[in-house]
């Protein structure tokens, strides 16, 4: 990275809360005015405010680390890749640690997976933010939602994602101290709210972000494959091929256990819980990547049923007692009965002894 970026960082730190004219920045960094204007338009809107006199005021730059600023600059100075899809990130905005996480981990992983990465504070088109967020969610192939610090707006946006049925597009993450078994967990501190505790969440350690990047990349690739196959689109990114070898019998056993555990939860609860639904998702994703097409199709059918029952049950809230509510309840219980009658051991028997 050129020294111009270092000079720009020092310039903004020195001008926090102060105003400057564009030429001042260009003299310090050596950039042409057109270059500086491009940066302002594309990546600096969150900390620069333009006044009526044409000057710029620096506001909030102190929250950005030098490493994060350098990573941000690299996003626009490197050659723009040919994107294979779109991604949207939901997270707390204006938090130095989380901005760094986005710049150095989430953005980089999404770019490596050939996804155009968007965050509403950096990539909006100037319209009402709620409309921009809806647009980003509805057009995204992958949605990364970080639950750190339990921000209400993040949970609201995740609720919209689920409301439009984009469960397979959604990847949840959170800082590791939100995990109850973490030695850093504080029962009076931030946590994962009850309605999402049953879902798979990638927890990240600020001291080991490389592991988080690896875990996130694996999850993004798998989810992207699932999403694109659902649309009937061949995935353009490098995904592990299926290996149908005798040595992979254990994969079938592991997949069977997920399906069996999910079904047992349905039998126990008389409903499809978030925990059961997540197991059906994991089984389907795993089967699509590694197992025979027959098992992949079987887990797809189970997931569609479970997802339908779960969504209907969630939608019951606010529906008054009457014919409409009774019809929904009857459909849910009908799906539960179908899942109860499933015999997964027969489906997996040709591939392994279960």
User: Which tens digits make up the pLDDT trace of 198-209?
Assistant: 677 899 999 999
**Residue 129 pLDDT class (50, 70, 90 cuts):** confident
* CA distance linking residue 245 with residue 291, whole number of Å: 10
Contact present, 85 and 112 (Cβ < 8 Å): no
Is the pLDDT reported for residue 245 higher than 50? no
pLDDT in tens, 51-81: 888 899 999 888 888 888 888 777 655 544 5
| Residue whose entry in the numeric block shows the structure tokens 């594309």 | 42
Contact present, 347 and 294 (Cβ < 8 Å): yes
Is the pLDDT reported for residue 3 higher than 70? yes
314/232: higher pLDDT: 314
- Cα–Cα distances (Å) from 173 to 150, 168, 331, in that order, read 11, 15, 33
| Residue whose entry in the numeric block shows the structure tokens 């392994």 | 352
Question: Mean pLDDT lowest for which of 236-250, 254-268, 297-311?
Answer: 236-250
Over residues 267-291, the mean pLDDT reads 85
Is the pLDDT reported for residue 162 higher than 60? yes
**Residue 266 pLDDT class (50, 70, 90 cuts):** very high
Share of residues in the chain with pLDDT > 70 (%): 88
Is the pLDDT reported for residue 244 higher than 50? no
Mean pLDDT, the chain, integer: 84
| Residue whose entry in the numeric block shows the structure tokens 């196959």 | 229
Contact present, 111 and 81 (Cβ < 8 Å): yes
Is the pLDDT reported for residue 354 higher than 50? no
Rg (CA), the chain: 24
String of b and e for 1-25 (b: at least 16 CB within 10 Å)?
A: eeeebeebbebbeebeeeebebeeb
Question: Mean pLDDT lowest for which of 101-110, 319-328, 342-351?
Answer: 319-328
Over residues 281-310, the mean pLDDT reads 85
- For residue 158, what pLDDT is reported? 94
Over residues 314-339, the mean pLDDT reads 84
Over residues 175-181, the mean pLDDT reads 89
Dihedral angle of Cα 351, 307, 193, 255, to the nearest 10 degrees: 0
- For residue 181, what pLDDT is reported? 81
Tell how many helices (H) and how many strands (E) occur in the chain. 15, 8
- For residue 292, what pLDDT is reported? 83
- Cα–Cα distances (Å) from 295 to 236, 299, 300, 337, 351, in that order, read 23, 6, 8, 21, 9
Question: Mean pLDDT lowest for which of 69-83, 103-117, 315-329?
Answer: 69-83
242/170: higher pLDDT: 170
Over residues 342-350, the mean pLDDT reads 90
Over residues 138-148, the mean pLDDT reads 95
* CA distance linking residue 74 with residue 342, whole number of Å: 52
| Residue whose entry in the numeric block shows the structure tokens 């989380």 | 98
* CA distance linking residue 300 with residue 130, whole number of Å: 33
Question: Mean pLDDT lowest for which of 100-104, 164-168, 294-298?
Answer: 164-168
């Amino acid at each position: 990275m050129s020294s111009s970026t270092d000079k720009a960082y020092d310039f903004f730190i020195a001008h926090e809360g102060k105003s400057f004219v564009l030429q001042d920045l260009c003299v310090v960094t050596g950039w042409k005015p057109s270059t500086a204007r491009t940066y302002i338009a594309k990546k600096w809107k969150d900390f620069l405010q333009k006044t009526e006199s044409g000057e710029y005021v620096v506001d909030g730059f102190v929250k950005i680390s030098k490493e994060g600023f350098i990573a941000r600059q690299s996003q626009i100075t490197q050659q723009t890749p040919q994107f294979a899809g779109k991604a949207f990130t939901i997270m707390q905005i204006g938090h130095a640690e989380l901005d760094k996480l986005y710049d150095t981990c989430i953005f980089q992983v999404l770019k490596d997976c050939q996804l155009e990465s968007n965050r509403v504070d950096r990539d909006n088109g100037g319209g009402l933010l709620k409309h921009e967020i809806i647009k980003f969610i509805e057009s995204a192939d992958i949605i990364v939602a970080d639950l750190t610090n339990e921000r209400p707006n993040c949970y609201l946006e995740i609720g919209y994602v689920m409301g439009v049925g984009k469960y397979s597009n959604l990847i949840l993450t959170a800082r590791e101290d939100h995990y109850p078994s973490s030695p850093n967990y504080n029962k009076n501190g931030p946590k994962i709210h009850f309605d999402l505790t049953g879902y798979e969440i990638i927890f990240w350690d600020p001291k080991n972000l490389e592991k988080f990047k690896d875990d996130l990349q694996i999850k993004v690739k798998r989810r992207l494959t699932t999403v694109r196959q659902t649309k009937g689109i061949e995935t353009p990114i490098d995904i592990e091929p299926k290996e149908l070898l005798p040595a992979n019998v254990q994969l079938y056993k592991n997949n069977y256990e997920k399906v069996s555990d999910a079904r047992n939860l349905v039998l126990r609860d008389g409903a499809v819980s978030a925990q059961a639904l997540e197991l059906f998702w994991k089984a389907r994703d795993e089967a699509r990547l590694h197992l025979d097409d027959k098992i992949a199709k079987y887990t797809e059918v189970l997931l569609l049923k479970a997802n339908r029952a779960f969504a209907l049950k969630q939608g019951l809230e606010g529906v008054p007692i009457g014919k409409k509510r009774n019809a929904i309840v009857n459909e849910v219980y009908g799906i539960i009965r179908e899942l109860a009658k499933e015999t997964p051991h027969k489906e997996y028997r040709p591939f392994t002894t279960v």
